[in-house]
Structure 1
Amino acid sequence: MDIAIMGAGLSGLACAITLEKNGINPTIFEKRSKVGDRFVNGEVILSIFDKPVHDNIEKLSEEYGIYLKPTSNIQKMELISKNEKAVIEGDLGFANVRGREQDSFESQLEQQTQSTIHYNSEETYEELLSHYSHVVVATGDGDYAKMTRNFREDLTVTIRGATIEGSFDRYVVKAWLDYDIAPFGYCYFIPYSDHEANISLAIPDLPENADINLDRLWDLFYEKVRSEFEQDIRITDQFQITHYPIGICQTARIGNTFYVGNCFGTTMPFMGFGQYASILSGVFAAYDLCGLGKYEELMKPLRESYEDSLVLRRTMEQLSNKGLDRIIHSLQGYWGEKLFQTNTINPLKVASFLLRPYIKMKR
């Protein structure tokens, strides 16, 4: 068995690490000049999106042998709508860095990988398929899955982000659900450290958003951030992603090709999270290759999570700022913390189940 992994991101490297633990050394092909060679941004892993798992980093370490060091453990989350604010406290998850940084998750996984990585690779999927018995497609988007007619695109999003400098609490993240600054979307503040953080604005490419002025929205958001922190905040780096597709594969494995990470569909439509699912997809593809399970079966819970997240995304598209205010108001105090801290149920799955008939009726 000769295995090629196309892409050295989270899912591709997690697959390689797991294969190596089982005595198989794949060959990795990466089109960029090094691992994580892209813009720097902050991301989070929140346990509420992966219930009943409470500590994702511990789970990856203890059960899968994947070792990651986040920049912080999140102790407080502030959810801000147009007129309301909810503060949730507790062990909520983890913040981390992605991209062109030595402590990014990609770089940490690379340090745990022994397999050969060919950088600046121009090999196509077809070429790898002709030379290797199995190909793991981990290219970071759904393009190859689309090419093989194996991808259902549900929406596209446009994202603008920046690295900012100031004085921050690294254990606090913030999210804005305010359609005046992000129509049908959301904004984030995620700290890298006490002095550096990422802010980002994401909006779905809906017909209702066709005529928006992204520059104007970004200026409004930037002023919101400055007002929130009551300090002069300096932008040191910026990035923008236009019309990024979010969707899911019809089939996780076709023949001897495995679709993992965003090529499978691990970016969740609701709020854009997906790192944990991306890593698991790489691990599960390796399990199948090692005869330790069936990839399609192992991915069923992640597929269900995606579909649940899509229902919540469609719900957001039918809300107004008044509706968001009501939701954020209801999350203040006891019920908000209960929702985020419960270990017995998956609250987002329950919400999706209750909303699904209504969303089907409206679509």
Structure 2
Amino acid sequence: MVKVAIIGAGVSGLACALTLEKHGIVPDVFEQLHRPGGVTPSIQTILQVIHRPAEDPLRDLAGRFGITLTPINTVRKIVMVGPNRVAAARGRLGYIFERGHSRTSLDCELYGRLSRAMVRFNAGVGYQELAGEYDRVVVATGSPFLAMAAGRYHGILRTWARGAVVEGSFDPHALIVWFDKSYANNGFAYLAPFCARKASLILEASDRREEEVEPAWRRFLEKEKLAYREEETFLREHNVGICCPRQTGNLLFVGLAAGLLDYTLGFGLYNAVVSGVVAARCIAGGSSYEAGIRDTLAKSYYTYLARLALNRMDNDDLDKMLEVVGQPWVNRLVYNTGLDVVNVLGKVLEHGQPGPLREQFRAPAT
């Protein structure tokens, strides 16, 4: 029987463990924290527009990958706020998930489904010490640091996330995103609700020093006239990059540890599940993990190109973009059809990009 270790008990690590159990393999899971779900509660979303051609990303995850996820709500409205323009979309736009240590969090839901695998909490381990003891080691830490240590990390973005759980009155089905260079630089801010009375408010400020983040947060609140009561707060540095290769020797990198995310808004739940499941299936069946995540890599690459395009915009450009997106026919085309917008836009933006960048997101030939 193959002996497997998983470093990290987040979504990708737990999806991998659950899938290994289905194949009769009981992994050892190592988590450096003392419980599942991280430190500070937060909200993440899976947006339908990002994961086309899947008509419903949750049905897709359940049908093709065998993992069912329980959202706390649906996204029925997305409001995009620029320096002087606002655009909104309505419809069946996606799903809202709670992350953290509450009983309703996605982390605790997946952890509670484990039947045989044991999670060793307070167990900070490195891949080197496990690589000699296990046939396969899955790195699912949700951060790039082990990829850095292994010499496989190619940096892309460096941001500071300043956030808080806030109290107020919220539409529980609405996601609000702000774009403004004056406080977010090449980042953004967003508000996503836990419920009608509580929400997660986060500023992702890029290319700033740590001491510049709190003043940027205050400028954000003042400019957008936000006066919510802050409960739990946090400040975290996010180093975002692509791990290449994702599989080498007996190591497999999944989820955010592999750089598999939507670079436009920084969410990675869907890719975390897919990569964790594919890694487990490849371990059980002996197939290529890189080949199994080829489509996921391509989608991540295209969202990164979209992020680069946003980075090149100034505030006037952002307003012009929202003016276009707010046109009814564009809104219908983007949000209410089955058009794979990310794929189409990515192919347009790909022209003129340096070859080495594309190769980092490409699965090696088998």
TM-score after normalising by structure 2: 0.91
Query: What secondary structure, in the 3-state scheme, does the structure 1 residue paired with 2:93 have?
Result: strand
Aligned twin of 1:338 = 333
Q: CA deviation at 1:68?
A: 1.4
Task: Describe how 1:1-363 pairs up with structure 2 within 5 A.
Answer: 1-114=2-115, 115-205=117-207, 209=208, 213-224=212-223, 226=225, 233-242=228-237, 244-291=238-285, 293-332=287-326, 333-343=328-338, 345-357=339-351
2:201 and 2:126 mapped to 1: Cα distance? 35
Query: What secondary structure, in the 3-state scheme, does the structure 2 residue paired with 1:338 have?
Result: helix
Note the alpha carbon deviations across 1:211-252, whole angstroms, 9 max, x for none.
98322221122235545xxxx52111111112x111112112
Report the CA distance shift for 1:359/1:126 in structure 2 as closer, same or farther (over 3 A). Answer: closer
2:70 and 2:56 mapped to 1: Cα distance? 13
Report the CA distance shift for 1:136/1:166 in structure 2 as closer, same or farther (over 3 A). Answer: same
1:202 and 1:160 mapped to 2: Cα distance? 7
Query: What secondary structure, in the 3-state scheme, does the structure 2 residue paired with 1:117 have?
Result: strand
Report the CA distance shift for 1:30/1:210 in structure 2 as closer, same or farther (over 3 A). Answer: closer
2:132 and 2:345 mapped to 1: Cα distance? 45
Note the alpha carbon deviations across 1:287-335, whole angstroms, 9 max, x for none.
1011174211111111111221221121112101111111101111231
Task: Please tell me whether the aligned partners of residues 314 and 359 of structure 1 are also in contact (alpha carbons under 8 angstroms).
Answer: no
Instruction: List runs of 5+ in structure 2 lacking aligned partners.
Output: 358-366
1:210 and 1:117 mapped to 2: Cα distance? 36
Q: CA deviation at 1:52?
A: 0.8
2:307 and 2:157 mapped to 1: Cα distance? 10
1:86 and 1:121 mapped to 2: Cα distance? 46
Q: CA deviation at 1:358?
A: 5.3
Report the CA distance shift for 1:292/1:359 in structure 2 as closer, same or farther (over 3 A). Answer: closer
Q: CA deviation at 1:37?
A: 3.1
Moved over 4 A (4+): 209-212, 224-227, 358-361
1:178 and 1:157 mapped to 2: Cα distance? 15
Q: CA deviation at 1:61?
A: 2.0
Query: What secondary structure, in the 3-state scheme, does the structure 2 residue paired with 1:290 have?
Result: helix
1:237 and 1:355 mapped to 2: Cα distance? 39
Matched AA of 2:198: E
- Pick which of 193-202 and 257-266 moved more: 257-266
Task: Please tell me whether the aligned partners of residues 246 and 267 of structure 1 are also in contact (alpha carbons under 8 angstroms).
Answer: no
Matched AA of 1:3: V
- Pick which of 66-75 and 212-221 moved more: 212-221
Task: Please tell me whether the aligned partners of residues 226 and 233 of structure 1 are also in contact (alpha carbons under 8 angstroms).
Answer: no
Query: What secondary structure, in the 3-state scheme, does the structure 2 residue paired with 1:156 have?
Result: strand
Q: CA deviation at 1:100?
A: 2.6
2:216 and 2:241 mapped to 1: Cα distance? 26
Query: What secondary structure, in the 3-state scheme, does the structure 1 residue paired with 2:184 have?
Result: coil
1:291 and 1:211 mapped to 2: Cα distance? 45
Q: CA deviation at 1:71?
A: 1.4
1:329 and 1:360 mapped to 2: Cα distance? 30
Query: What secondary structure, in the 3-state scheme, does the structure 1 residue paired with 2:49 have?
Result: helix
Q: CA deviation at 1:286?
A: 0.5
